[in-house]
Amino acid sequence: MVRETRLEPSSLILPLFIREGIPEPRPIAGMPGVVQHTKDSFRRQIDLAVKAGIGGVMIFGIPAKRDEQGSEGLNPEGVLAAAIRDARAQVNDDLVIIGDLCLDEFTSHGHCGVLNSKGAVDNDATLEIYGQMAQVLASAGAHMVGTSGMMDGQVGVVRKALDANGFTDVLILAYAAKYASAFYGPFRDAVESQLQGDRRTYQQDPGNFKESLREVRLDLAQGADIIMVKPALAYLDVLYATSLAVDVPTASYIVSGEMAMVEAAAAQGSLDRERGILEILSSVRRAGASIICTYWALEAAELIKKGL
């Protein structure tokens, strides 16, 4: 009766990985229950997501072939666009279909953008590709695109490309404050990332707070519909400040490594897994995220309904 913070299935987003050309779903190290999906197993997850009453799914496509430019990301018949098209045909508007708008799954070097002749990420050349990719994902049926690449100006370019092509009602989930985090470890495995080195030239320094608020302000000015802070647990202060500062919904992403920590601790009997999951979700909600992206979305929806 007196609880201040409540969780609801409809505010959860489930990230899903779909891999081109695999005969069976493939498990991902460190993330029990999370797999690279085939078309069939992906379809079943979309069904479960609707039945569980969660808000949406965030789709990551893993292509069979990569190149320097990440061109499979722009292929309207490629793994990501096809998955979005299938999911939308399956559910229409019963679930929010979100496409990850980034190149890292598609580039042979694993960076979120294309490289210049010196091997550094070329921000502005990448923006052009993001604009085209936005159009491809929206044409495939995405209700929303998640701009996760941390290029400067990406939200503005994507908004313009969407509007110019008749997709004025496609929303932008802006990863505004995305830190260069060690907690993306298992995700790199999930998308078979080819990355050497790190993303510190474009993702945020974990020591910075004010810089995040600036990033948030810039994304809002460029047309962000939802602001994301990521990862969640190590950045609850940033999430809290952001949620107070903006008048759009605030989201946070409990990332792969954060999930892996809990799963590993629970597997060795150190904590009560279900209580741990709900406590973490509550903390993220309490810190101001009205939308939570979590690999536990389906299970959490059940736990919430059971009233745990």
Q: Which of 18, 62, 80, 102 is close enough to bind ligand PBG by CB under 6 A?
A: 102
Pick 29 or 164: Cβ nearer ligand PBG: 29
* In contact, 69 and 114? CB cutoff 8 Å: yes
Stretch of 66-74, 75-83, 84-92, 96-104 contacting ligand PBG, by CB under 6 A? 96-104
Q: Which of 45, 135, 148, 252 is close enough to bind ligand PBG by CB under 6 A?
A: 148
Distance, CA of 204 to CA of 181 (rounded, Å): 9
Q: Which of 135, 204, 256, 294 is close enough to bind ligand PBG by CB under 6 A?
A: 256
Distance, CA of 257 to CA of 182 (rounded, Å): 8
Please tell me the count of residues contacting ligand PBG according to CB under 6 A.
10
- Least Å from the CB of residue 139 to ligand PBG: 20
Pick 42 or 187: Cβ nearer ligand PBG: 187
- Residue numbers annotated as active site: 178, 230
Other C-beta atoms lying within 10 Å of the C-beta of residue 272: 11
Q: What phi and psi, each to the nearest 5 degrees, are found at residue 99? A: -105, 135
**Paired tokens of 281:** 């979700």
Coil, helix or strand at residue 304: helix
**Paired tokens of 95:** 């679930």
- Least Å from the CB of residue 106 to ligand PBG: 10
- Least Å from the CB of residue 283 to ligand PBG: 17
Pick 184 or 235: Cβ nearer ligand PBG: 184
Cα→Cα distances 46→86, 105, 169, Å? 10, 21, 22
Q: Which of 17, 106, 130, 187 is close enough to bind ligand PBG by CB under 6 A?
A: 187
**Paired tokens of 188:** 């790199």
- Least Å from the CB of residue 206 to ligand PBG: 13
- Least Å from the CB of residue 88 to ligand PBG: 21
In angstroms, what is the C-alpha Rg of the chain? 18
* In contact, 9 and 53? CB cutoff 8 Å: yes
Q: Which of 17, 184, 235, 296 is close enough to bind ligand PBG by CB under 6 A?
A: 184
Cis status, amide bond into 231, omega within 30 of 0: yes
Binding site for ligand PBG (CB under 6 A): 100, 102, 104, 112, 148, 184, 187, 199, 255-256
